[in-house]
Chains A and B, each alone.
Chain A
Amino acid sequence: MKAKVYVTIKENVLDPQGNAVQGALHSLGFGEVSKVRIGKFMEVELATSDRAQAEQQLKSMCEKLLANTVVEDYRFELEG
Chain B
Amino acid sequence: MKFAVLVFPGSNCDLDMYHAVEDTVQQPVDYVWHTATDLSAYDAILVPGGFSYGDYLRCGAIAQFAPVMEEVRKAAEAGKFVLGVCNGFQILTEAGLLPGALIRNNSLKFRCHPVDLVVENNKTAFTNDYAPGETVRIPIAHGEGNYYVDEQTLLTLKANNQIVFRYAGENPNGSTDNIAGVSNERGNVVGMMPHPERAVKELLGSKDGARMFTSVLNAFLSRVNSGAVHGAQAQSERV
Contacts and interface: CB of A to CB of B under 8 A. Distances in A.
Contacts of B105: 16
Q: Which of B58, B61, B174 has the most CB of A within 10 A?
A: B58
> Which interface residue of B61, B65, B106, B148 has the most chain A CB atoms within 10 A?
B148
A17 B94 contact: no
Contact of A70 (B62, B101, B107): B101
B106 A14 contact: yes
A16 B106 contact: yes
A66 interface: yes
Contacts of B57: 65-66
Given A12-B150, A14-B106, A17-B108, A68 B101 contact: yes
Interface string B54-67: 00011001100100
Contact of B103 (A12, A13, A20, A65): A13
Interface string B108-122: 100000000000000
A50 B156 CA distance: 42
B79 interface: no
Listed residue (A13, A17, A70) with the most chain B CB atoms within 10 angstroms of its CB = A70
Interface string A1-37: 0000000010011101100100000000000000000
Contact of B61 (A9, A13, A16, A65): A65
Contacts of B201: none
A70 B100 contact: yes
B104 interface: yes
A67 to B, nearest CB: 9
B61 A68 contact: yes
A33 to B, nearest CB: 18
Contacts of B107: 16
B58 to A, nearest CB: 6
22 contacts: A12-B150, A13-B103, A13-B148, A14-B103, A14-B106, A14-B146, A14-B148, A14-B174, A16-B104, A16-B146, A16-B174, A17-B104, A65-B57, A65-B65, A68-B58, A68-B61, A68-B94, A70-B93, A70-B148, A70-B149, A71-B101, A71-B103
